[in-house]
Amino acid sequence: MKTEIDYAALGVFLFFFVLVTLLGFVAAYWRRPKTLAHIDEWGLGGRQFGTWITWFLVGGDFYTAYTVIAVPALVYATGAFGFFALPYTIIVYPFVFAVMPILWKVAKDNNYVTAADVVHGRYGSRGLELAVAATGVIATMPYIALQLVGMAAVIQALGLTGELPLIIAFLVLAFYTYSSGLRAPALIAFVKDVMIYIVVLVAIAIVPFKLGGYGAVFQAAQAAFEAKGSGGILLAPAQMVPYASLALVSALAAFMYPHTLTGIFASRSGDTIRKNAMLLPAYTLLLGLLALLGYMGHAAGLKLSHNNDVVPALFQTLFPGWFAGFSFAAIAIGALVPAAVMSIGAANLFTRNFWKAYVNPQVTPAGEAQVAKITSMLVKVGALLVIIYLPTQFALDLQLLGGLWILQTFPALIFGLFTRFFKAKALLIGWAVGFVVGTYLAWSDGLKPLHKLVYGDWNVTLYVGLIALTLNILVAAILSLFLPADRPLEKDLQAPAT
């Protein structure tokens, strides 16, 4: 890694950063609402985003900046195993297509803003609502922190030292999110996604050309793994089941997060969501090609102190300064979009399912918007403090646990859309069992995502989240047999026919 300042790179970077900052503030006037002082407007952009805006927004906040840094880093370090992100981001879409339009409709018909709103309406249970809301908030916090890690990686590569650049970038983000709400990341996502597409397409065309073609890239990577004695460009037999379980469970968890659900709830119609399920895989193709940058790092013979440096170092080595600056700007702006949507999603949860539920049930829509705005600020400041004062590994570990935790809300949120069999108390106990057992297993394994189940001389290694979710569903199903029916609150009590 070079660390002296390259002024061409820095100039291009600053130009784009200032551009999106202006966009963020202008966004308040984009598709002008009558007033932004309403949580539907501030927190969901007025539920009127059509197919293209949703495509950019969800693409921008599901495929995060951290992804751009971390997936190639994982592939660089472990080889084929890091590719689980590819099957994961393919099989998520049939699920989105089949389930999310139904969830959207329930939210739209009842003016729900969050997943916990949906659960509360469906089961009439404050306890289950609180479990879903709290899980959403704590799973989102480390995720925001990791966006900062992605941003810090490129800011360092530009040769800027210290924490000040990161703090400035984040404060700017906090202010325009405060004033414009979800419209800001939606508008910025256009710029960011186009930039990322340009960067990746140039990289996958030019880099192999400089390194002697894809065949050579794969050979160089295999040679590097053999020299290292671990990893490889194919999975070891023992990695196959973990690979599949990680892909499946990640796909189930992906749209339980507040930021991805915010993108769903902000859509104009169920049809918008269906079309997006067909169109969003374009980003998956991009992600798969991006992952190959990890192998290109080996082919280019990079010597790295951190795996996370593979993408910035590769761009610095192979691109002219101005294009490296453009790439870094794309990644840094790529951190702003998900960080903004995540903080909005967490703020919506706090406002609706804590403030309105327990502090001030009479709060007006304008009051809700105000609480959400302030909360979004606090959430971002919290994430910033975590990154500055705590080791990065802490955020990484928490993010891993966050995936496990958010997955435990799946039964509560999704099952009720299709059946009345599950009862609130049973789901709440199932959630607690999955949460506690999953956390304990991950913790006792030294915060590793994979757990080995041993039964006599038979054993299998699975993603911890899958074990926890299975327990969660089993407990919820068995207890539901013995519990009386719940009393739902909402108008629409019919599980929609499909």
Binding site for another protein (CB under 8 A): 80, 83, 86-87, 90-91, 93-94, 97-98, 101, 105, 213-218, 233-235, 240-241, 243-244, 247-248, 269-271, 274-275, 277-279, 281, 284-285, 288-289, 292, 498
Q: At closest approach, how far in Å is the CB of 326 from another protein?
A: 26
* C-beta closer to another protein: residue 59 or 325: 59
Q: How far lies 147's CA from each of 39, 57, 66, 343, 399, in Å?
A: 25, 16, 5, 12, 11
Q: At closest approach, how far in Å is the CB of 257 from another protein?
A: 21
Contacts for 105-110: CB closer than 8 Å, 24+ residues apart: 105/270, 105/496, 106/417, 106/490, 106/492, 107/265, 108/47, 109/490, 109/491, 109/492, 110/490, 110/491, 110/492
Residue type, 6: D
Q: At closest approach, how far in Å is the CB of 402 from another protein?
A: 23
Q: At closest approach, how far in Å is the CB of 83 from another protein?
A: 7
**Measured distance CA(126)–CA(129) in Å, rounded:** 5
Nearest to 386 by CA among 140, 69, 181, 173: 140
**Measured distance CA(98)–CA(498) in Å, rounded:** 9
Q: What angle do CA 70, 72, 73 make, to 5 degrees?
A: 60
**Measured distance CA(496)–CA(298) in Å, rounded:** 51
312 burial level (CB within 10 Å; 0-12, 13-18, 19+)? buried
* C-beta closer to another protein: residue 13 or 81: 81
* C-beta closer to another protein: residue 58 or 141: 58
* C-beta closer to another protein: residue 85 or 349: 85
Q: At closest approach, how far in Å is the CB of 286 from another protein?
A: 10
Residue type, 131: A
Q: At closest approach, how far in Å is the CB of 332 from another protein?
A: 27
* C-beta closer to another protein: residue 5 or 282: 282
* C-beta closer to another protein: residue 139 or 211: 211
**Measured distance CA(241)–CA(453) in Å, rounded:** 12
> How does 191-202 read in b/e, with b if 16+ C-beta sit within 10 Å?
bbbebbeebbee
**Measured distance CA(478)–CA(151) in Å, rounded:** 46
* C-beta closer to another protein: residue 163 or 271: 271
Q: At closest approach, how far in Å is the CB of 116 from another protein?
A: 24
**224, 298 contact by CB (below 8 A):** yes
* C-beta closer to another protein: residue 174 or 247: 247
Q: Which helix (H) or strand (E) holds 454?
A: strand 450-455
**Measured distance CA(188)–CA(175) in Å, rounded:** 14
* C-beta closer to another protein: residue 218 or 322: 218
Tell me the three state secondary structure of residue 267: strand
* C-beta closer to another protein: residue 76 or 243: 243
> Hey, what are 456's tokens?
């006599």
Beta bridge partners of 267: 49
Q: At closest approach, how far in Å is the CB of 241 from another protein?
A: 8
Q: At closest approach, how far in Å is the CB of 119 from another protein?
A: 22
* C-beta closer to another protein: residue 87 or 325: 87
**459, 453 contact by CB (below 8 A):** yes
Instruction: Mark out the alpha helices in 229-358 (DSSP H runs).
Output: 240-254, 258-265, 270-279, 281-291, 293-299, 310-318, 321-350
* C-beta closer to another protein: residue 157 or 233: 233
Tell me the three state secondary structure of residue 158: coil
> Hey, what are 75's tokens?
């592939």
> Hey, what are 28's tokens?
């308040």
* C-beta closer to another protein: residue 124 or 288: 288
